[in-house]
Amino acid sequence: MKPFEIRLAKQHRNNAQHVKNLRAFCEDQSRFNRLDPEDQSLILMQLEHQACLDTILEARMRRLNLPV
């Protein structure tokens, strides 16, 4: 793979892991509900945006015929 393809794959892997961890945290109501409502809202927005980024990165990888 070319250097930019490697960077893209690493970015996707790291972002996908972060999305997975954030989802797990949000689904753990005993922990998530202890947060201030504003923090909850910010985390949910972060999760939404990172999930969108994940979709974009996957599309770019598919266009380059890289394994997703």
* pLDDT tens across the length of the chain (68 residues): 999 999 999 999 999 999 999 999 999 999 999 999 999 999 999 999 999 999 999 999 999 999 99
State the pTM of this model: 0.89
- Is 68 a member of any domain? no
How many structural domains does the chain have? 1
- Is 11 a member of any domain? yes
**Per-residue pLDDT at 47:** 98
Rounded to 10 degrees, the C-alpha dihedral 49/51/54/60 comes to -70
Domain range for residue 18?
Answer: 3-63
